[in-house]
C-alpha cells in the first residue's frame, strides 16, 4: 500500500470524518487517495490555510474530537502557523498534515520548501518529519494520542512527497508506546483531600474555573462540587459555559472585563480554588495584588502551569474532571457534611455586589447599541446557539451579555487573540453540528481577516449567521487610545469598508442590514430564519466602549465601572435571568 493510502486508512482508524484543507503539489498523492475515499471521509476546501486551522479548531472545540488539517508544503504550511499558535494557546487538539518536498530535496531550497518542523516547533505541542513510509501509521497514531491527551494541543506531521508515494505493508499499531510522555490523570489523593478540607473550612471561598474544565468534560462534576459545598463560581473567558451563567452560584466572568462581584469576590476571598485555569494576565491584572488575602489551590493537567504565575499552597496535577470527581468522592467518603456550608455573610456580600453593579450600558433611541444586539440575539436564539467570535470589543460584549448554558457552546480566541478566528471556526462548528444554530459575532475589522471563507461556507451549504458589529473602527484599540493615549486615534479608522450586504450577495449568500434600533429585531429574526450563510451588518454606536474595565497594569480592585457621564440616558441594569 502506498504511503498516501496508509495515511487515509490511518485517519479513518482514528475516527476522522472531516478534513479541512487546501491541496498543492507536495500533497497531491494524498488528495488522489482522498478522492477514492470520499464515501468514508469528507473534505472542506477552504480559501486560505489559516481558515483551515481555525475551522478545524471550531470542529474540535465544539465536539471534543481532534480537528484535522491538510495542506501542501511551503506557503501552504506557513499559512497555518497563526492557527497552530492559536490552537496551542487555547489547548485545542489539532493534527495538521503538511506536504513537504521529496526527502532528497530537503535543504536544497527546492520549490515550495520550508523548514516546517523548525518553524512550527514553538507553536505546536509536538511535530514530526516522516522520512520512512514504514513509520507513517505509527506517527499518525502517536500524533492523535498526543493531541487529545494531557493538555490538548496541535501536532504537525510533515510528510515528504516521496514518502506518500513509497509502498509498504499497512500495519496499524493498536497501542501507543511513548515512555517519555505520560499525561496526568488523577490527582494526588492526599492533596485532593487537603484541598477539600480547605474548601469546607473556608469562610470566603471562590472557585475560579477555566477552559481546562471544558476540555476535560468536567462541567457536571464542577456543578456537583459547587452545589455540595455552596461555592461561588467565576469562569474565565475560556471557561464560559463550564458553569451555567444563570446558575445562582455563578458570579459571572472575572478579569479585565469581568463582573464587579467576581473581581471583588476574588479580591476579598480567603480561599481561591483554580481549576483548569492559568492565571492569565487579563484575569489577574496586577499579579501581586491578585487574590491578596487568599490561600490558593491550583488544579491543572499541565504541571508546568503550577506555580508559574502565582505561587500556590496546594498544587494538584491532574485532569480537571478526574480531580473534581475525586473531590466529590472525598466529600462522600471522608467528610460527611450535614449540608452545604451556608456562609450567609459571604453570600450576602457577593449578592450585594451583584445587585449594586450589574453589567449595564447607556440605552439610546437614535442608534443601535452593540450590547443590545447581543441581548436580542440571546432572546431570539433562547441562549442555545453555538457562538463564535473574533477578537475585540464584540468578543467581550458577547462574553458579558449572551449568557452561556453549557460547555462547547462558546468558541473564541482567548490566548493568542486572533482576529479572523471566528468565521472559519463557525464553519467548522456547523460542519460538526448541522442541526444546531451557529452564529459568528465579529467586528468590521476582524471579519475582513478571513472574509474569503464566505465561499467555503456557501459551497459547504453550512447554516452560519455572521453578525457584524460594525462601528467603522478597530474598536478595542480605539478604546485604549481614548483612555490611555489622550484620544489620539492612530490608524484605527475603518473609513473604507466593503458593503457587507453586497459582498455577501457576491459570494451567493444573503446579506441584511440594520441601521436604527427599530430594525434590529426584525433583521435578526429574518437572518436567523433564512437557511444557509447570512451576513447581518449591524451599524452600531461608533464610540461605545466596553465596561467594566480593569486598566492594564492595575489591580482588580481598581476596575472602572462606567464611562464618564456625558448626559445621555440613564443606564439600565441588565436582567441577569
Rounded (5°) CA angle 316-319-322: 95
Q: Edge-to-edge strands of the sheet including 18-22?
A: 42-45, 18-22, 67-71, 94-100, 154-160, 126-129
Give the pLDDT confidence of 497-516 residue by residue, as tens digits.
Answer: 999 999 999 999 999 999 99
What residues act catalytically?
49, 111-112, 161, 476
For the chain, how far is it from start to end, CA to CA, in angstroms?
59
Q: Are 237 and 200 in contact (CB under 8 A)?
A: no
Which stretches does DSSP call E strand in 270-384? 271-275, 295-300, 314-317, 360-362
The CA distance from 468 to 446, in Å, is 9
Report the chain (577 residues): mean pLDDT per 10 consecutive residues. 98 98 98 97 98 98 98 98 98 98 94 96 98 98 98 98 98 94 94 96 97 97 97 98 97 96 97 96 94 97 94 97 96 79 95 95 93 98 97 97 97 96 98 96 97 98 98 92 90 92 98 98 98 98 93 92 66 44
pLDDT at position 574 is 47
The alpha carbons of the chain give a radius of gyration, in whole angstroms, of: 24
pLDDT at position 568 is 57
Q: Which residues on adjacent β-strands are paired with residue 1?
A: none
**pTM score, whole prediction:** 0.95
Q: Show Cβ contacts of residue 504 under 8 Å, excluding neighbours closer than 6 positions.
A: 454, 510, 511, 533, 534, 535
CA atoms within 13 A on the CB side of 498: 18
Which of 403, 243, 263 is CA-nearest to residue 320? Answer: 243
Cβ burial of 574 (10 Å; 0-12, 13-18, 19+) is: middle
pLDDT at position 566 is 59
pLDDT at position 577 is 31
Query: Any idea how long the chain is?
Result: 577
Q: Are 157 and 97 in contact (CB under 8 A)?
A: yes
CA atoms within 13 A on the CB side of 21: 26
Give the pLDDT confidence of 520-564 residue by residue, as tens digits.
Answer: 999 999 999 999 999 999 999 998 999 999 988 899 999 999 876
Give the pLDDT confidence of 360-417 residue by residue, as tens digits.
Answer: 998 899 999 999 999 999 999 999 999 999 999 999 999 999 999 999 999 999 999 9
Cell (9 digits) for 58: 471550531
pLDDT at position 572 is 53
% residues pLDDT > 90 (the chain): 91
Cell (9 digits) for 423: 468565521
CA 363 to chain centre: 30
Amino acid at each position: 500500500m502506498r504511503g498516501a493510502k496508509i495515511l487515509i486508512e490511518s485517519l479513518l482508524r482514528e475516527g476522522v470524518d472531516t478534513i479541512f484543507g487546501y491541496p498543492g503539489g507536495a500533497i497531491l498523492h494524498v488528495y488522489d487517495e482522498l478522492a477514492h475515499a470520499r464515501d468514508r471521509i469528507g473534505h472542506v476546501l477552504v480559501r486560505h490555510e489559516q481558515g483551515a486551522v481555525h475551522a478545524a479548531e471550531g470542529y474540535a472545540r465544539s465536539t471534543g474530537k481532534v480537528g484535522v488539517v491538510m495542506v501542501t508544503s511551503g506557503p501552504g504550511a506557513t499559512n497555518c502557523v497563526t492557527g497552530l499558535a492559536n490552537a496551542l494557546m487555547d489547548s485545542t487538539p489539532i493534527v495538521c498534515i503538511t506536504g513537504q518536498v521529496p526527502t532528497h530535496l530537503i535543504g536544497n531550497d527546492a520549490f515550495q520548501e520550508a523548514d516546517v518542523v523548525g518553524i512550527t516547533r514553538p507553536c505546536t505541542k509536538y511535530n514530526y518529519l516522516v522520512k520512512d513510509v514504514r513509520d507513517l501509521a505509527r506517527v499518525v497514531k502517536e500524533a492523535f494520542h498526543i493531541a487529545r491527551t494531557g493538555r490538548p494541543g496541535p501536532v504537525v506531521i510533515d510528510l515528504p512527497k516521496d514518502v506518500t508515494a513509497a509502498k509498504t505493508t499497512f500495519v496499524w499499531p493498536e497501542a501507543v508506546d511513548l515512555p517519555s510522555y505520560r499525561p496526568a490523570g488523577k490527582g494526588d489523593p492526599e492533596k485532593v483531600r487537603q484541598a477539600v478540607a480547605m474548601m469546607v473550612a473556608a469562610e470566603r471561598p471562590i472557585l475560579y474555573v477555566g477552559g481546562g474544565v471544558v476540555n476535560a468534560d468536567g462541567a457536571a462534576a464542577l456543578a456537583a462540587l459547587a452545589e455540595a459545598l455552596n461555592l461561588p463560581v467565576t469562569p474565565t473567558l475560556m471557561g464560559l459555559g463550564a458553569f451555567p451563567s444563570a446558575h445562582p452560584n455563578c458570579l459571572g466572568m472575572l478579569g479585565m472585563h469581568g463582573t464587579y462581584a467576581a473581581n471583588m469576590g476574588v479580591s476579598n476571598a480567603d480561599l481561591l480554588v483554580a481549576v483548569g485555569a492559568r492565571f492569565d494576565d487579563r484575569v489577574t491584572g496586577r499579579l501581586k495584588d491578585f487574590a491578596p488575602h487568599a490561600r490558593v489551590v491550583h488544579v491543572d493537567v499541565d504541571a508546568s502551569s503550577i506555580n508559574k504565575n502565582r505561587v500556590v499552597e496546594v498544587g494538584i496535577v491532574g485532569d480537571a474532571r478526574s480531580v473534581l470527581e475525586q473531590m466529590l468522592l472525598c466529600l462522600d467518603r471522608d467528610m460527611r457534611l450535614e449540608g452545604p456550608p451556608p456562609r450567609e455573610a459571604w453570600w450576602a456580600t457577593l449578592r450585594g455586589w451583584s445587585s449594586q453593579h450589574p453589567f449595564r450600558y447607556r440605552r439610546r433611541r437614535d442608534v443601535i447599541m452593540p450590547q443590545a444586539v447581543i441581548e436580542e440575539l440571546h432572546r431570539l436564539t433562547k441562549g442555545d446557539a453555538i457562538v463564535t467570535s473574533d477578537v475585540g470589543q464584540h468578543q467581550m460584549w458577547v462574553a458579558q451579555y449572551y449568557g452561556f448554558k453549557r460547555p462547547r457552546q462558546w468558541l473564541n480566541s482567548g490566548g493568542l487573540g486572533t482576529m479572523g478566528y471566528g468565521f472559519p471556526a463557525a464553519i467548522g462548528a456547523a460542519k460538526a453540528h448541522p442541526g444546531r444554530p451557529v452564529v459568528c459575532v465579529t467586528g468590521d475589522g476582524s471579519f475582513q481577516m478571513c472574509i474569503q471563507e464566505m465561499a467555503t461556507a456557501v459551497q459547504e451549504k453550512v447554516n452560519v449567521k455572521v453578525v457584524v458589529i460594525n462601528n467603522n473602527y478597530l474598536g478595542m484599540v480605539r478604546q485604549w487610545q481614548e483612555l490611555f493615549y489622550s484620544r489620539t486615534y492612530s490608524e484605527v479608522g475603518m473609513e473604507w469598508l466593503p458593503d457587507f450586504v453586497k459582498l455577501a450577495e457576491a459570494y451567493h449568500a444573503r446579506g441584511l442590514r440594520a441601521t436604527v434600533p427599530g430594525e434590529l429585531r426584525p433583521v435578526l429574526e429574518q437572518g436567523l430564519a433564512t437557511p444557509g450563510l447570512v451576513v447581518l451588518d449591524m451599524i452600531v454606536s461608533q464610540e461605545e466602549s466596553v465596561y467594566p474595565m480593569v486598566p492594564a497594569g492595575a489591580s482588580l480592585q481598581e476596575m472602572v465601572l462606567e464611562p464618564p457621564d456625558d448626559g445621555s440616558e440613564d443606564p439600565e441594569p441588565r436582567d441577569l435571568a
